[in-house]
């Protein structure tokens, strides 16, 4: 019996990623391991022999999105092996196993064996080398532009509302040598930007004397050829002058994401956050003093149990005074297994909705004001994709990319810009996206 062309090409796999940059880093590792085993990566919209949903569970909305994606994957791929992994699969595997659309449920704790489990389920020859083997091939996805690199995982801080410690475990760092090797490999594969990510980056290296996030950043900058480097998220209490000295290297992007969560001292204490509103404001001021061109973004949780009108107004006033480049606003969501799920003073959905709406309106105004303030300035943009549109005539195609300070930019240009840096002049703001003129390669 002769093999078909599809059989000769090997089985196909599609991976859909939800949630944080840490999940994106895990997906990159899964894609590489599938490729090592002879699988061919396809887009999530194509037919696949294996379909993996790497889930989030930070809110009930994230859970619902994961269930919807898994059911939709089965409808599109009726004969495929459907795999649920990630944080939802770690938090509530039995709940997911009740869905008839799913074949395998594999939590974060067993994610390193996912490909092997899929091979065994499908009855394929076991060809997967152990994770960590040298000489691994490049990851399968075609767009090698921005790569997430996990430098640590887990969290020991146990905030009252957060499920992450239960689904990611205790804090543990990836050795500096291993991180440097991974960044070097990704740069060799063609990635132009690397994002250092994890659950609690500021405590990186606590296991080893003399190892710190600052030292890791310096090692990556000095020992790799990464053209552009980002740090995904930091806590305000982790910001100090010594750490900010790293940003004197222009390859390190001047964007800081600092979760705020609340501007009320009482609510922050109830949340078990390790800073005060004034401490947060001091961290923002220090960043702006030491890295003047930095953009600062934040997360805010609205409607935490016991949040009064006065508490919310303190949050609103602090956000207004800090003039963020952008804010992610979330209504508090009960997560079973967290302390906050048992607190009295749970707010009604209608109250949370009204408060979220007010803060989102502020976020929209601040985002627009920040972007309007940049017009006329020049930036470096790493171009990602172009999208077919009415602009794809005459003058060229509409390209999309990110500046070093994390501003989404679009430009019309006839040249091939994907995965290239160019200087641009920021010219206008259109529906939240900054339009730019490409100046030179």
pLDDT in tens, 178-234: 999 999 999 999 999 999 999 999 999 999 999 999 999 999 999 999 999 999 999
**pLDDT at residue 441 in the model:** 59
Q: Does the model's pTM come out above 0.85?
A: yes
* Cβ atoms 411, 438 nearer than 8 A: yes
* Cβ atoms 398, 412 nearer than 8 A: yes
* Cβ atoms 192, 382 nearer than 8 A: yes
For the chain, which ranges sit under pLDDT 70?
1-9, 126-143, 386-395, 441
Q: Where are the domains of the chain?
A: 10-122, 378-440
Which residue stretches of 44-113 are H helix? Answer: 60-76, 87-91, 93-97
In sequence order, what are the residues at sequence separation of 6 or more whose Cβ sits closer than 8 angstroms to the Cβ of residue 403? 379, 380, 381, 409, 424
Radius of gyration of the chain from Cα atoms? 23
**pLDDT at residue 395 in the model:** 63
**pLDDT at residue 83 in the model:** 97
Domain 10-122 has CATH 3.40.50.720: no
State which fold the 378-440 domain adopts: OB fold (Dihydrolipoamide Acetyltransferase, E2P) (2.40.50)
- Nearest to 99, CA basis, from 142, 55, 133, 130: 55
* Cβ atoms 155, 133 nearer than 8 A: no
């Amino acid at each position: 019996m002769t093999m078909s062309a599809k059989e000769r090409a090997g089985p196909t796999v599609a991976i859909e990623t939800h949630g944080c940059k840490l999940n994106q880093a895990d997906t990159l590792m899964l894609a590489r391991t599938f490729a090592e085993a002879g699988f061919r990566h396809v887009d999530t919209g194509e037919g696949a022999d294996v379909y993996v949903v790497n889930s989030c569970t930070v809110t009930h909305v994230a859970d619902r999105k994961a269930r919807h994606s898994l059911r939709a994957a089965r409808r599109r791929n009726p004969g495929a092996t459907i795999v649920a992994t990630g944080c939802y699969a770690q938090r509530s595997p039995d709940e997911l196993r009740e869905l008839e659309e799913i074949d395998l449920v594999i939590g974060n704790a067993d994610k390193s064996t996912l490909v092997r489990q899929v091979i065994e389920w499908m009855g394929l020859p076991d060809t997967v080398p152990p994770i960590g083997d040298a000489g691994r091939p490049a990851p399968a996805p075609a767009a090698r532009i921005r790569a997430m690199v996990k430098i640590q995982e887990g969290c020991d801080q146990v905030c009252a509302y957060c499920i992450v410690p239960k689904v990611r475990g205790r804090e543990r760092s990836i050795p500096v040598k291993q991180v440097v090797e991974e960044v070097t490999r990704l740069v060799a594969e063609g990635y132009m930007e690397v994002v250092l990510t994890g659950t609690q980056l500021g405590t990186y290296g606590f296991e080893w004397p003399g190892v710190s996030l600052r030292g890791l950043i310096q090692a990556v900058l000095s020992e790799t050829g990464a053209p552009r480097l980002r740090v995904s998220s930091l806590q305000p209490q982790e910001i100090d002058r010594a750490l900010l000295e790293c940003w004197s290297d222009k390859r390190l992007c001047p964007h800081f994401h600092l979760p705020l969560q609340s501007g009320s001292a009482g609510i922050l204490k109830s949340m078990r956050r390790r800073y005060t509103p004034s401490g947060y404001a001091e961290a923002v001021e220090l960043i702006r003093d030491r890295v003047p061109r930095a953009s600062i973004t934040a997360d805010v949780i609205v409607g935490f149990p016991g949040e009064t009108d006065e508490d919310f107004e303190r949050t609103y006033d602090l956000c207004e005074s800090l003039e963020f480049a952008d804010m992610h606003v979330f209504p508090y969501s009960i997560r079973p297994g967290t302390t906050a799920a048992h607190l009295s003073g749970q707010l009604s959905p209608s109250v949370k909705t009204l408060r979220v709406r007010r803060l989102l309106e502020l976020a929209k105004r601040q985002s627009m004001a920040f972007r309007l303030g940049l017009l006329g300035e020049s930036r470096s943009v790493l171009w990602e994709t172009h999208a077919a549109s009415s602009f794809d005539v005459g003058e060229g195609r509409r390209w999309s990319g990110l500046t070093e300070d994390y501003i989404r930019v679009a430009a019309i240009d006839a040249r091939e810009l994907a995965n290239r840096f160019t200087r641009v002049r920021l010219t206008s703001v259109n529906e939240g996206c900054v339009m730019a003129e490409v100046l030179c390669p």
